[in-house]
Amino acid sequence: MSSAPDPAPPTRSQEYYLEEGDVIVRVEDTLYRFHSYHLQRATTYFDKLLENTPPASWQSRGGGDVDEFLIVIDEVEATDFEALLWFFYESGYRWSCLVDKSFDEKWKSTLLLAEKFSMDEVAKVACYALHRASAALGDIYKIALCVRHGLSKEWIRGEMERVISRKECLSADEARQLGFEMTTVLADARETSARLIPKPCKDTKMCIPCATTFLDGISIPNYRCHLGVHMCAKDRMHACKCDSTEIDRQPIIDAIDITSIDQNHLTSGASLQSRCDAWGSAQGDLFLKVEDKVVQIHSYHLMTASSVFTDMLALPTTSTIAREGTWANPITLEGENLDAWKNLLWFFYDSPYAWSEEVKSDDIPKWECILALSEKYCMKGICQVAVYALDHHNALTSVRKIGLCVRHNIDGSWMAQARRAVSERAESLTAQEAEELGIPLAMALVKDREQYLRALMSKLKSRKIAKK
Ligand SMILES: [Zn+2]
Ligand SMILES: [Zn+2]
Q: What is the reported pLDDT for 57?
A: 47
Largest CA distance in the chain: 113
Ion ligand 2: protein residues whose beta carbon lies under 5 Å: 201, 225, 242, 244
The alpha carbon of 455 and the centre of ligand 1 are apart by a number of angstroms equal to: 56
The alpha carbon of 220 and the centre of ligand 2 are apart by a number of angstroms equal to: 17
Q: What is the reported pLDDT for 65?
A: 53
Tell me how far apart the alpha carbons of residues 383 and 403 are, in angstroms, rounded to a whole number: 13
The alpha carbon of 215 and the centre of ligand 1 are apart by a number of angstroms equal to: 12
pLDDT tens figures, 83-120? 999 999 999 999 998 888 999 999 999 999 999 999 98
The ligand that comes nearest to the alpha carbon of residue 224 is 2
Q: What is the reported pLDDT for 4?
A: 56
Domains of the chain plus CATH, in order, are: 11-193 (3.30.710.10), 197-246 (no CATH)
Dihedral, CA atoms, 110, 115, 116, 121, nearest 10 degrees? Answer: 80
The alpha carbon of 210 and the centre of ligand 1 are apart by a number of angstroms equal to: 4
Residues of the chain below pLDDT 50: 1, 54-58, 60, 63, 265, 269
Contact 103, 140 (CB under 8 A): no
The alpha carbon of 245 and the centre of ligand 1 are apart by a number of angstroms equal to: 23
Of all residues in the chain, the percent with pLDDT exceeding 70 is: 87
Q: How far apart are the first and last CA of the chain?
A: 103
Q: What is the reported pLDDT for 90?
A: 96
Q: What is the reported pLDDT for 1?
A: 45
Which pTM value belongs to this model? 0.84
Q: What is the reported pLDDT for 96?
A: 92
Tell me how far apart the alpha carbons of residues 34 and 101 are, in angstroms, rounded to a whole number: 27
The alpha carbon of 167 and the centre of ligand 1 are apart by a number of angstroms equal to: 34
The alpha carbon of 217 and the centre of ligand 1 are apart by a number of angstroms equal to: 16
